[in-house]
Structure formats: C-alpha cells, structure tokens
Amino acid sequence: MRFLGPKPAFAFSMILSIAISAGQRSGAMELNILPLKISPANTASVVQAVTNFRCHIVPVQRAHGDSLPIVRPYCDQPAAQTTAAPSSAAPTDLNYNGGPVVTTAQDTFLLLNCAISCWGDPAGFLSNLYQSNFIHLTDQYVNVTTNRRYSVNSNVVALAMTEPHTMSEADVQAAVISGIRLLFPNGGGGGYNQIYSLLLPSGQDTCVAGGTQCYSPDNDAKWTFCAYHSAMDTTDARGNPIHVLYKVLPFADVSNGSIIVGRSVARKENLPTRKIICCPTRPLR
C-alpha cells in the first residue's frame, strides 16, 4: 500500500512548522503535576519485566554535509516484507505489512528531573495540534476520519531520579514503567490507545544497543540519533502484562559543531504521524 510520496511529505513538514508557531502563541494547557521519586533499587526491579523491546530512531543530520551512513540498532530493524513494494515507490513511501495501527490515543508526558517549562509548552502544542484539521493528514494511515481522536492527558508525571550521565535503554524503560504504575495504581495503562512521552533534561544523554548508539552531543563518535519512539511488553502495577508505546525526547537546541539538533526534531517525534501510527510495535520501511 502506497501512502505518501516526497512532495506531500515536504508540504507536511511545512504545514507542521506553521502549526507549531500557532501552538506556541496559545495559552498554556492546565496540567495536574504528579511527583514521583524513584530509587536505583526500584529501577533495577522494574526493568526485569521488560520483553519485546522495539524502537525507531530519528537519525542525526550533520552540518556541512559530512553525513555518515545510518546504522540502525538491533531494536530498529525492518519488518519482513509480505508484499513487494511498487517499483515506482519513493524512499518516503511506506508499505503496510500488517499489524495494529493507532486509531485513537491519549498522550501523557513524563518529565525527568525538570519542570515542564524546561521544554517550553509541549502539552499546549500537542493539544492544539490534535484539535486542528492538520492532524487529519494521518487519516490515510489509519482509515479513520474522526475529529479529536488524539488527546493530551492533563495528568503529567514529574519523575525525580538519580540517573547516570548516559541513560541506558533499561533506565529509560524503568522511568516509563514507573510513570505508568503511578498513573494506573489499579493496573492497566498499556495498549494502542495510550502513548507516553518521556522528556529528558538538558545535558542528559541516552543510548540503546548496549551503549553503542546514542543521543550524545558530548560524544560525537556515538551520536547517532536525536530521538526515538518505541514499544515494549512489561507488567502493570498489579503484575498483569501490558504492551506500552512511548517516545524518548532528548533536549533539543544543541550543537557540537558537526551536528545541530533543532526544536523541530522533538516536534516531529511528538507528532504521532506516519510511523508511530502505522507501526507502533514493529519498524516499517
């Protein structure tokens, strides 16, 4: 199934920039901040329940054209092709190979060691976006046209954790799971109608694949991605199995001379667009 070619994709990006500017001028969304302090011992126990971890990275784009080949981590490998792609397919096209899509969802912010103002007004931006006509560009991927099918949770988890300078994928998973268990003390919180957005503060690095592929402005050799969205199987507050969709959004507006990360990276990953809607569980090319 052919979804989107290069010209519509470019228009999509341009319209997104306009929507972002409009969202930033709007009033802040009223939020209920839920504090949660997590100990290292709690982190270690939580991640023991994680299986079936998948991810899709947003690769870095280097300044001055000195690009490196994109090497994707083990968690970001393409799904097996069940149908041949059309010979005329553009690199920006997607082929649907089965699996669930996100037709409706609530997006919940998880803040790590900083107030939500550290990242501007992400809740206000997403709320405005989800209520706009612009979000209907995603209709073609999910075969649903309902208005306001995506929303922002007014409950926000403020995580207080002592993290290493570089968070591993297990550290990230523990933060997400801990937030879910606070929000849903009686169990639940997973499924394809819940999306969690973990915002990392300035100076916080994070890696996947055993520390070989990272968001690391202070270590150019390992800096391979700017953000990623992911899925995992874990357990809820009652020990029951759940499937969790989440995004990891490191701090934007940084540069080390060869790589520049602007706010657009976080905005693109915050939009549940092509790949988080089309393939929340398995990467799709």
Residue 285, in any domain of the structure: no
Residue 235, in any domain of the structure: yes
Residue 245, in any domain of the structure: yes
User: Measured between alpha carbons, how far is 175 from 89 in angstroms, rounded to an integer?
Assistant: 39
- Residue 223 corresponds to which tokens in the numbers above? 């800096």
List the chain residues with pLDDT less than 70.
1-28, 62-69, 78-95, 97, 253-285
Give the count of domains, the chain: 1
Q: What is the pLDDT of residue 4?
A: 40
Instruction: Domain of residue 212: give its range.
Output: 6-79+96-278
Residue 284, in any domain of the structure: no
Residue 168, in any domain of the structure: yes
Residue 222, in any domain of the structure: yes
| Residue 29 burial class via C-beta count within 10 angstroms: exposed 0-12, middle 13-18, buried 19 and up | middle
Residue 86, in any domain of the structure: no
pLDDT in tens, 261-280: 544 444 445 444 444 554 56
Q: How far apart are the first and last CA of the chain?
A: 12
Q: What is the pLDDT of residue 39?
A: 85
Residue 133, in any domain of the structure: yes
pLDDT in tens, 29-63: 789 999 999 888 777 788 788 999 999 888 887 66
